[in-house]
Structure 1
Amino acid sequence: MITRYERMIARRYLMPGKGEGFIFLVATISLVAVALGVAALIAVMSVMNGFRAELFDRILGLNGHAVVQGYGGKLENWQAIADAARKLPGVTSATPLIEQPLMGSFQGRVEGVLVRGQRVADIKGNAVMADNVRAGSLDRLVPGSGTVAIGARLAENLGARVGDEISLINPAGESTPFGTVPRIVAYRIGAVFEVGIFEYDKAFVVMPVEDAQLLMRLGDAVGMVELETNDPDRVGQILQPLQAVVAQDGVIADWKSTNSALFSALVVERTVMFWVLSIIILVAVFNILSSLIMLVRAKSRDIAILRTMGAGRAALMRVFMTVGTIIGGLGTLLGLGLGMTILAFRESIVAGVGALTGANLWDPSVRYLTELPSRTDPFEVIGIVVLALVLSFLATLYPAWKAANTDPVQVLRYE
């Protein structure tokens, strides 16, 4: 424990004395550098966490935890497979699904689309889609009505709005003496949604599964069965018994295999960013080290006098360790507040920097998500704070040791 007089000396050494302005400047730079390092780590790690969490929630919210994909894109025996899946412990739902890339056209504009057919109840029960309707209503999706819901980016690219008719072009059309004629069917737009993932918003056309079966000429078959479990991380073990059931009809693909490259890249990027930004804190700690060394040299006469008055080596070590730890602690607290402020105004900051530089810092076509996400992990923040404090403390050990080993006889003889 630090004593009262040690606290007094440490407090006096924190303030610049006569001719010590440069030392105070270096200490201030060290404090600011620690703050910037802590703020950068908190902000970047929170954004990376938010990016992964948003992608995970939205991708799995739309595609489920796994799918049973029929050979050739057609699953005839889907009812039996869905029933067998629902009986497995850990499986919460098994729903039929049709997904097929086609072409969409409106007033001369043509875009590649991904037609998705689902039961109307499943469409309305999907929170990712139902909670993000920007225009119209999903209630308009009625089997046989010729009504669809499309993504917001697709609506922009086609120039279409709710109430307009778009044409879906199926290349697998009818055979004629002159060759295969593509099947073209017109559908009215009943709703426009924006789920927040650029690739989905620019391509999705959602319709009742009955209409999709008619468009694709599938009869009573579907393309796949979408499965959800109570533990996405254990989806492989949960669905293992289903492998034998579906072996003759299709294959099981879970979210880990489908999106493995994306999520693996996120893990690598997150780890690299943590270590790179930690270097900022390390550099700041070296500044604390250098400022304390200069302080010890500047206060060598005071240290010698304190030694002759009875101050022990341990007491002098505690004084300088306190000075350095206070600088690191104040910088950490400042960085914590700055990091939280950056996260709170991250959208405005990105927009402001983009306006100043003329660059699009958050291009949805590159970043997948339409908005900059953030999810702060309290334990991660605590870890960053502890890291900064521990490094700051370690930086005080050598200067404190030098101060404690100052020979008062040598110093007072020459000074």
Structure 2
Amino acid sequence: MILTPFEWTIAKRYMMPGRGETFIALVAGISLAAVMLGVAALIIVMSVMNGFRAELFDKIVGLNGHAIVQAYGGRIDNWEEVLQEVRETPGVVSASPLIEAPTFLTFNGRSAGVQVRGNTQQDIAELAPNVLIGNLSRITPESGRVAIGVRLAENLGARVGDVITIFNVQGRPTPFGTVPRQVGYEVAAIFEVGVFDYDEAFVIMPIKDAQTLMLTGDTIGMIEVTTTDPDKVGEILAPVKASLEGQAQVSDWKTINASLFEALAVERVAMFVVLSIIVLVAVFNILSSLIMLVRAKTRDIAILRTMGATRRSLMKIFVTTGFVVGALGTVAGIALGFTFLFFRQSIVQGIQFVTGIELWDPSIRFLSELPSRTDPWEVLTISVLALVLSFLATLYPALKAASTDPVQVLRYE
């Protein structure tokens, strides 16, 4: 829709109402602000939801791989053969033996339920970017050293160099009954994965030390698998699942965390629908402001018609007047949304400081910080949605303006 110089001049005049039209200008300003806030809210919420899913996926998959091969009964005896078979499966990037068992530990009179995790040296070394204090290179087989999560360290009051005692409740049978096995380990490193449950419960040690602690001999509990495409992990590992049927089960990240990611997907759709209503309400403001503008400019419209202005020209003038409000609100909303996302953590901390209320509790939100990941296609979709709704809102007032009968308006002038 290309405007002639005449049409653009009239449209600009109507975008800036003159004396006595303050109320119309106020409604138009409110409309612009409402579109801005609606677009910004959609961009912020969708980016945070995307970031939440992406961060959870990265951290959970980074620690657990894309899939887990776990034997029935919790022990894989011929694990070397199974491991070799998994590694030779097309689409598998890596596969590592793993031991994971729930137990508890004590330190200075404090105790906590923990998840002991026995990893290979390579897997332990990959945890290096998450280490806050200490050195993972000191954690070697039979060194008696472990790494613990930062939340667990805070709960126990443990620091690097302290010795914690880990129990295996199964223990060994004696004439006096089963005595729990307890082993002291030096804390060599404290890490933060960023997922609250992991940082609060995980104790990382070499796989050989975990075998000794849990009295499993030369067996492992599971095999951690990473594939080329996490979204096709089920298809990639289908041959392994068929081969190990009756011996072990293959659980991918979708199955293990199904309830969490499904809840996120449902909430994401629900939030988009609910927040889209804000944009719709803002568009109704544009509609009402244009209707008032048309009523206020009825005499002007009649004069323009007598001077030769066509109905098409009047349609274009009023559509442009309303659409520009929606377009400016959309651009301002995008800018506001990105600004909020850039300073999101500072804003959350500021609100917490002012209100005294903890808005982001890691024990509830899983992650340590408010995440964000903006999808350009989603931003484009939100922008197009706002612009299309703004355009549709201008059609009725523009049609009313174009259908004005100059004879009826000016007959008594």
Q: TM-score range by the shorter chain?
A: over 0.9
Counterpart in 1 of 2:338? 340
Q: Which amino acid aligns with 2:304?
A: L
Counterpart in 2 of 1:302? 300
Whole-angstrom CA distance in 1 between matches of 2:390 and 2:192: 46
Instruction: Deviation per CA, 1:174-212: give whole Å up to 9, x if none.
Output: 112322111110000000000100000000100000000
Aligned partner of 1:328 among 301, 326, 329: 326
Counterpart in 2 of 1:198? 196
Describe how 1:5-16 pairs up with structure 2 within 5 A: 5-16=6-17
Aligned partner of 2:283 among 264, 285, 290: 285
Counterpart in 2 of 1:317? 315
Whole-angstrom CA distance in 2 between matches of 1:76 and 1:352: 54
- 1:404 is displaced (CA, Å) by 0.1
- 1:121 is displaced (CA, Å) by 1.7
Q: 3-state SS of the aligned residue for 1:163?
A: coil
Counterpart in 2 of 1:370? 368
Counterpart in 2 of 1:244? 242
Say if 1:68 and 1:246, in contact at 8 Å, map to a contact too: no
Describe how 1:15-164 pairs up with structure 2 within 5 A: 15-124=16-125, 126=126, 129-164=127-162
1:400 aligns with 2:398: yes
**Structure 2 length normalisation: TM-score?**
0.99
- 1:88 is displaced (CA, Å) by 1.0
Instruction: Deviation per CA, 1:222-267: give whole Å up to 9, x if none.
Output: 0001111101111111111112332243211111110000000000
Q: 3-state SS of the aligned residue for 2:159?
A: coil
Whole-angstrom CA distance in 2 between matches of 1:159 and 1:376: 38
Q: Which runs of 5+ in 2 are unaligned?
A: none
Whole-angstrom CA distance in 2 between matches of 1:52 and 1:168: 33
> Identity over aligned residues, as a percent?
64
Say if 1:136 and 1:191, in contact at 8 Å, map to a contact too: yes
Whole-angstrom CA distance in 2 between matches of 1:43 and 1:112: 37
Counterpart in 1 of 2:229? 231
Whole-angstrom CA distance in 2 between matches of 1:37 and 1:414: 45
Q: Which amino acid aligns with 2:388?
A: V
Range that drifts further, 90-99 or 352-361: 352-361
Q: 3-state SS of the aligned residue for 1:188?
A: strand
Say if 1:81 and 1:245, in contact at 8 Å, map to a contact too: no
Q: Which runs of 5+ in 1 are unaligned?
A: none
Say if 1:77 and 1:249, in contact at 8 Å, map to a contact too: no
Whole-angstrom CA distance in 2 between matches of 1:227 and 1:184: 31
Runs of 4+ in 1 over 4 A off after TM superposition: none
Whole-angstrom CA distance in 2 between matches of 1:340 and 1:68: 42
Instruction: Deviation per CA, 1:26-68: give whole Å up to 9, x if none.
Output: 0000000000001111111111111100000110010011111
- 1:94 is displaced (CA, Å) by 1.2
Whole-angstrom CA distance in 1 between matches of 2:136 and 2:247: 32
Instruction: Deviation per CA, 1:93-118: give whole Å up to 9, x if none.
Output: 11100000110110000011100001
Q: 3-state SS of the aligned residue for 2:50?
A: helix
Q: 3-state SS of the aligned residue for 2:29?
A: helix
Counterpart in 2 of 1:218? 216
Say if 1:71 and 1:250, in contact at 8 Å, map to a contact too: yes
Whole-angstrom CA distance in 2 between matches of 1:361 and 1:411: 59
Instruction: Deviation per CA, 1:323-380: give whole Å up to 9, x if none.
Output: 0011001111111110011001100111111122221110000000001111111111
Whole-angstrom CA distance in 2 between matches of 1:299 and 1:143: 85
- Root mean square deviation of aligned Cα: 0.9
Whole-angstrom CA distance in 2 between matches of 1:291 and 1:143: 74
Q: Which amino acid aligns with 1:29?
A: I
Whole-angstrom CA distance in 1 between matches of 2:53 and 2:84: 32
- 1:283 is displaced (CA, Å) by 0.4
Say if 1:148 and 1:190, in contact at 8 Å, map to a contact too: yes
Tell me how many residue pairs correspond in the alignment: 412
Q: 3-state SS of the aligned residue for 1:103?
A: strand
Whole-angstrom CA distance in 1 between matches of 2:293 and 2:373: 41
Q: Which amino acid aligns with 1:302?
A: D
Whole-angstrom CA distance in 2 between matches of 1:74 and 1:311: 86
Q: Which amino acid aligns with 1:9?
A: I
Whole-angstrom CA distance in 1 between matches of 2:353 and 2:27: 34
Q: Which amino acid aligns with 1:240?
A: A
Whole-angstrom CA distance in 2 between matches of 1:14 and 1:247: 71
Whole-angstrom CA distance in 1 between matches of 2:281 and 2:300: 29
Q: Which amino acid aligns with 1:5?
A: F
Q: 3-state SS of the aligned residue for 2:73?
A: helix
**Structure 1 length normalisation: TM-score?**
0.98
Counterpart in 2 of 1:269? 267
Whole-angstrom CA distance in 2 between matches of 1:244 and 1:181: 41
Q: 3-state SS of the aligned residue for 1:371?
A: coil
Whole-angstrom CA distance in 2 between matches of 1:414 and 1:47: 60
Counterpart in 2 of 1:167? 165
Say if 1:196 and 1:369, in contact at 8 Å, map to a contact too: yes
Counterpart in 1 of 2:381? 383
Whole-angstrom CA distance in 1 between matches of 2:124 and 2:213: 18
Say if 1:37 and 1:280, in contact at 8 Å, map to a contact too: yes
